[in-house]
């Protein structure tokens, strides 16, 4: 089966750094995505990894290790507006366009 | 701006009364998706289209159907909504093997 695991909730302080982990067991692998979702809104794209290593984009970075089935999203200089759910999603095969989503990590940033 | 548009933003229907949710896109993407997301859960893929090729998930109830009359439009039909079908319905589009762009979602309530 396909399984994507993330912590359910995390808390952090404004200005701090937080790392959100994601582990996956899927029948195949053709890329991992991170999306941000504010309550009651649609997910918005944050990052994409298909090769091992770190992808940096401003305050957000994402890391992938395919051999370990592991990714993390790193958020630096946290702001109050970063309070949201962060969804890890895997494209599980080369011959499919579908993304399988984890249940998301709800991050609360406190002043 | 090019985007994915879902109407309406909120939809209320009665138990058993057919309802149709709509999605349109100006991105000219060949893949369109319908996801169902319940509170604090992962988005769950219901169907996706690659151009006119329809792909139904094995566990999508028969109560849910979809139409894609052209590249720009896609519809989700719920033939006989039950209380358990109350959820956020997310439409998304993509080019093959690329990131998904989501619409703002339709929050469906069933009375």
Separation in Å, CA of B28 to nearest CA in chain A: 16
Spacing of C-alpha A2 from chain mean position? 17
pLDDT of residue B97: 78
Chain A partners within 8 Å of B104 (Cβ)? 41-42
**A100 shares contact with chain B (CB less than 8 Å):** yes
Q: Kindly state the average pLDDT of the residues B1-22.
A: 91
Give residue B2's pLDDT band: very low, low, confident or very high (50, 70, 90): low
Q: How near does any CA of chain A get to the CA of B105, in Å?
A: 6
A4–B42 C-beta distance less than 8 A: yes
- CA B76, B32, B3, B39 dihedral sign is positive
Contacts of B49 (CB under 8 A, 6+ apart): B31, B32, B33, B55, B66, B68, B74
Does the pLDDT of residue A95 top 80, yes or no? no
Q: With a cut of 80, say whether residue A109 has pLDDT above it.
A: yes
Distance from the B79 Cα atom to the nearest Cα atom in chain A, whole angstroms? 24
At A41 the pLDDT is 85
Mean pLDDT is lowest, of A73-87, A91-105, B28-42, for: A91-105
The per-residue pLDDT for A40 is: 82
Residue B109's CB: how many other CB atoms inside 10 A? 14
Matching residue, tokens 């809104």: A41
Q: Which residues on chain B are in Cβ contact (under 8 Å) with A3?
A: none
d(CA A72, CA B26): 32
Look at residue B98 in the predicted model and tell me its pLDDT.
84
B18 vs chain A: nearest CA distance in angstroms? 24
The tokens for B60 are 């999508």
Q: Identify the weakest region by mean pLDDT among A27-41, A85-99, B5-19, B49-63.
A: A85-99
Q: CB of B26 within 8 A of CB of B72?
A: yes
What is the phi/psi pair of residue B85, to 5°? -90, -5
Identify the pLDDT of residue A2: 79
Q: Do A101 and B102 touch (CB under 8 A)?
A: no
SS (H, E, C) A55-111: EEECCEEEEEECCCCEEEEEECCCCHHHCEEEEEEEECCCCCCCEEECCCEEEEEEC
Is residue B61 very low, low, confident or very high in pLDDT (cuts 50, 70, 90)?
very high
CA–CA dist B98, A42 (Å, integer) = 18
User: Per DSSP, what are the bridge partners of residue A9?
Assistant: A106
Average confidence (pLDDT) over A57-82: 96
User: Across-strand partners of A6?
Assistant: none
For the stretch A5-46, pLDDT in tens is 999 999 999 999 999 999 999 888 889 999 999 988 889 999
Strands (E), chain B: 4-7, 10-13, 19-25, 31-37, 44-50, 53-56, 64-67, 73-78, 87-94, 101-102, 106-110
Name the closest residue on chain A to residue B30, using Cα atoms: A97
Q: Which of B38, B99, B101, B106 to mutate: most A Cβ within 10 Å?
A: B99
Q: Tell me, what's the pLDDT at B4?
A: 94
Query: Which of these ranges, B79-83, B85-89, B100-104, has the smallest mean pLDDT?
Result: B100-104
pLDDT at A94: 62
Among chain A residues, the shortest Cα distance to B95 is held by A97
């Amino acid at each position: 089966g396909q399984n994507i695991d993330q912590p359910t909730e995390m808390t952090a302080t404004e200005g701090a750094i937080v790392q959100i982990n994601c582990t996956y067991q899927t029948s195949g692998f053709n890329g991992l995505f991170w999306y941000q979702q504010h309550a009651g809104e649609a997910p918005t794209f944050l990052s994409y990894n298909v090769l091992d290593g770190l992808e940096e984009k401003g305050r957000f970075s994402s890391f992938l290790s395919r051999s370990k089935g592991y990714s993390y999203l790193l958020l630096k200089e946290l702001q109050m507006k970063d309070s949201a759910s962060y969804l890890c999603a895997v494209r599980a095969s080369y011959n499919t366009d579908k993304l399988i989503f984890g249940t998301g990590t709800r991050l609360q940033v406190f002043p | 701006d090019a985007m994915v548009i879902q109407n309406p933003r909120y939809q209320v229907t009665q138990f058993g009364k057919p309802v149709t949710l709509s999605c349109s896109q100006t991105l000219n993407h060949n893949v369109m998706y319908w996801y169902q997301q319940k509170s604090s859960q992962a988005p769950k893929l219901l169907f996706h289209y690659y151009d006119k090729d329809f792909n139904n998930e094995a566990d999508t109830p028969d109560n849910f159907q979809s139409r894609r009359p052209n590249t720009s439009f896609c519809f989700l039909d719920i033939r006989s909504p039950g209380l358990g079908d109350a959820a956020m319905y997310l439409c998304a589009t993509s080019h093959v093997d690329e990131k998904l762009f989501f619409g703002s979602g339709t929050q469906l309530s069933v009375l």
